[in-house]
Amino acid sequence: MDHEQLLKGDKLVLRGMMFHGFHGVKPEERKLGQKFLVDVDAWMDLEAAGKSDLLSDTISYTEIYRIVREVVEGPPQNLLEAVAQVIASRTLTKYPQILAVRVKVGKPHVAVHGSLDYLGVEILRYQNANA
């Protein structure tokens, strides 16, 4: 299946996860920390779970949530790109049945002159590229 077809398929969706972390390049970010907003899409075949209604035929959302929480609340990274990459890499490594993962990491409270909801990054990684 090519990447374009894959992204039109089934996926697990986690939206609006918020955690306090200490990521950033500025000393105050490392000392005080801040809130990080994370969204994850994980593409995988959900047909078996839809037919069987068994958790064993899918991946529990709480497992992906746990990975995100551990990364965001864990050791600090300088860049949001690195935070997103670690989340994607751990998710694909732990769950080979996930074919692709999109991770969006945002900082809702940033020191900029202007109005915005958040600043952030969004990455898309594929299982075969993780090997």
Active site residues: 107
Q: Answer whether 97's CB lies under 8 Å from 60's CB.
A: no
**Three-class SS of residue 97?**
coil
Please, which contacts does 122-128 make with residues 24 or more away whose CB atoms are closer than 8 Å? Answer: 122/84, 123/81, 123/84, 123/85, 123/88, 124/100, 125/85, 125/88, 125/89, 125/92, 125/100, 125/101, 126/3, 126/6, 126/92, 126/99, 126/100, 127/92, 127/96, 127/98, 127/99, 127/100
